[in-house]
Amino acid sequence: CITDKITRNQCQLCRFKKCIAVGMAMDLVLDDSKRVAKRRLIEENRERRKKEEMVKSLQSRPEPTGAEWELIRLVTEAHRHTNAQGSQWKQKRKFLPEKIGQSPVAPTSDGDKVDLEAFSEFTKIITPAITRVVDFAKKLPMFSELPCEDQIILLKGCCMEIMSLRAAMRYDPDSETLTLSGEMAVKREQLKNGGLGVVSDAIFDLGKSLAQFNLDDTEVALLQAVLLMSSDQS
């Protein structure tokens, strides 16, 4: 075969013979296992460089100013004062009886089926949960300075997201439950059949993911503030 820039990929054997003929060392030839190992090493080095660059960029960021630290403190305190049961939620939670919410029974207007007993239990805690989100928002200076109309728009856009985040932060892998409003521990199917449908899967999956990060109160509070102030951008 004629091996040049155009035809070099047409016959690997002739390409190999030509490489040897022009002086390529045999020890540079990789078998399949060595080729896989080399590719893996390249990928590992690439990932390592990415992590090093990320750490470097974080280290090079300027330290927050005094005013920024004060804002962070206010946001954190707003979260702590409006987060039901705080760090004591595991001790104070009550598990929804397993017989409730295990089988959807009543059809809704959109064709889904809802367990009425589970739905009734969830409606008891939804209003207090919404109130706590509103209270959290009102404690933030950047929110309270906005016109009332803008506050309403932001709250409508983020209330469900913040409540979902708070529930997800109380995912317990041992019992495979979420604790709603700091008091009611529910299984995935109970939440789904109680009216949330496929949204329940998203909240449980979020809870599993967040559990790996061990977020503290400040980090959760800042996430909520971001959800609140950007909820009109969707």
* 180-229 pLDDT per residue, tens: 887 889 999 888 888 888 889 999 999 999 998 999 999 999 999 999 99
Separation in Å, CA 7 to CA 13, 18, 19, 30, 204: 12, 12, 14, 22, 54
Read off the pLDDT band of 36 (50, 70, 90). Answer: confident
pTM of the model: 0.68
For 49-204, strand residue ranges (E) read 94-95, 106-107, 113-114, 171-172, 177-180, 184-186
Question: What region, left, alpha or beta, does residue 176 occupy, with left being phi > 0 and alpha being psi -120 to 50 degrees?
Answer: left
